[in-house]
Amino acid sequence: MIKFDCINYLKKMKRDIIFFLFFFIITYFIITHSISFFSSLAPDSSSYIDNGAYRLAIYPLFLDIFYTNDLRHVLLIQKIFFIISLFLIFKSLIILEINRKLIIIFYFLVVLNIFYTSFCKIILTESFLFSFINISIAILLKKKKTRFDCIILGLCLGGISSLKHEGIILSFFLTLIFLCLGQKNKIIFFLISFTLLPLIENYYFFQTNEVRTTQKENIYFGKIFMLSGTDSFKLSDFDEKLKPYLDEIQTESKKFNNYLKEVKNPVLKTNLISDFEVVGQFQISDKIWKKLNITVISDNIYFNDEYVDQKKILISIISKYPFEYFKLSLAHYFSLWTPGSKNIFLSSMDINKSNENIYVNELLEKSSSNIYSPNINLLKINLLFFLSLMLILIVILMNYIYGFLKNPKKYISLVFLVLSVQSHLFFVSFINIGTPRYLMPVYPLILLIVVLFVNDLIRGKKSHLNYF
């Protein structure tokens, strides 16, 4: 009997190894030979290579270990780790006996999304962020979790929060799913491993930097810039000392807001709003700060030798014009779901060729990244696909919340899964800007949510929603 079990185990292991190698080779071939949206080095890459003081240090640590003058070793490791993470999700769906057609559709929607897979071929932290998220979901989908699974899950969720600041939200909700699964006897292993990468990040950061800095002043400025040019904004509502500063910002902002009034296409408008806020964060802030002789010292800005509390200014603006801030943030959220809109609509837009609009277009062009642009028809299909995903995700969330009110235990993990996606997207929309780059970390999660929902519809009465 023992011999028979051993033979079966070896046969199963052999099948698993063959399946993994087949999956790996096919996926590696597709990703390697697919078009990349970016070159290997992006404008942000240098800040990771140099372990910039405003970056979290886990990815710079990886680069310090493996980076040489040849990028190929780093990119190869990123690609291998990324493919393994995809395999783990794929394998989890098979074990859960998800409809095979849905699994195949899921696979191709992931690996053929060249914008998503391009991030494993560039020196940016996204590749490891995507991989940690994928591995975390794969482990959460396992019915029986060993201590080793809980250790790896803790490492991944701790890694998510150690790679990107916005990863904290996603890590929090995925941790809630784990806690809801009742793995009480294994929580200690999870918690110890969860703290490991944040502790390493903190230690390594201060080995190469004296103090942490952020880009918060640029982010605050971007919000102030976009809101100060709206029709609702009144300079008289603010302190006399701030009026010269806000007047300069408002003057610039009105040029961009007037430009937006001429844009009739709502999809294009939301994309331009995000792009204009980026212009404000860096180009306009630099222009105004130089003009007014504003100094920036340790993330603080000083005007006429007095500290300018931009956070306080922004909170004041939001409290006075909450609807304008809500509209701005909602535009960023919508922009997350509309990749390629500028490529589709901007060139055909009929806009007044005034000096102000020419100036706006010049700054917009300077801030635009030089990335690959697919065929217009493909971009249109892609746009419809993502807009459909946005609407479907809203419908699924409403369905799960309704189910949760009737049967909390049955639906709680699924509700947290959808909330992890939506919370991440709303967080970046309200705090920063909306760009498809911020949607990509949760792209497989969105597809997974849809796959699980459709699988339940196919099963009908046989569905138990017991995926975690």
**Per-residue pLDDT tens over the stretch 185-226:** 889 999 999 999 999 999 999 998 888 888 899 999 999 999
Quote the radius of gyration of the chain (alpha carbons, Å). Answer: 24
How are strands ordered across the β-sheet holding 300-303? Answer: 295-297, 300-303, 306-308
Helix 443-459 with 376-406: angle, nearest 10 deg: 60
Q: Which of 46-55, 70-79, 259-268, 455-464 has the weakest average pLDDT?
A: 455-464
What was the pLDDT predicted at 200?
Answer: 96
Q: For residue 231, which of 321, 311, 312 has the smallest C-alpha distance? A: 321
Q: For residue 44, which of 341, 282, 276 has the smallest C-alpha distance? A: 282
CB under 8 Å to 234, separation ≥6 — which residues?
Answer: none
pLDDT band at 5 (very low <50, low <70, confident <90, very high): low
**Residue 13 scores a pLDDT above 90:** no
Cα angle: 247, vertex 249, 253; to 5 degrees: 115
pLDDT in tens, 145-159: 899 999 999 999 999
The amino acid occupying position 377 is N
What was the pLDDT predicted at 304?
Answer: 82
What was the pLDDT predicted at 261?
Answer: 92
pLDDT band at 22 (very low <50, low <70, confident <90, very high): very high
Q: Where are the beta strands (DSSP E) in 70-131?
A: none
Residue 295: strand pairing partners? 302
What are phi and psi for residue 302, nearest 5 degrees? Answer: -130, 130
What are phi and psi for residue 388, nearest 5 degrees? Answer: -65, -40
- CB contact at 8 A, 100 and 19: no
DSSP state of 308: E
Q: Which of 74-88, 239-253, 338-352, 376-390 has the weakest average pLDDT?
A: 338-352
* Mean pLDDT, rounded, for 68-96: 92
Q: Which of 34-43, 78-87, 110-119, 376-385 has the weakest average pLDDT?
A: 34-43
- Burial call 367-376: b when 16+ CB within 10 Å, e when fewer: eeeeeeeeee
- CB contact at 8 A, 184 and 268: no
* Mean pLDDT, rounded, for 62-91: 91
pLDDT band at 109 (very low <50, low <70, confident <90, very high): very high
DSSP 346-376: GGG------HHHHHHHHHHHHHS-------H
What was the pLDDT predicted at 463?
Answer: 59
pLDDT in tens, 293-341: 988 877 788 888 888 999 999 999 999 999 999 999 999 999 999 988 8
**Residue 423 scores a pLDDT above 70:** yes
What was the pLDDT predicted at 91?
Answer: 95
Segment holding 206, helix H or strand E: helix 187-208
Segment holding 301, helix H or strand E: strand 300-303
What was the pLDDT predicted at 68?
Answer: 72
More confident residue, 334 or 4: 334
**pTM above threshold 0.85:** yes
Separation of alpha carbons 32 and 373, rounded Å: 18
What was the pLDDT predicted at 188?
Answer: 92
By DSSP bridging, strand 295-297 and strand 306-308 are unpaired
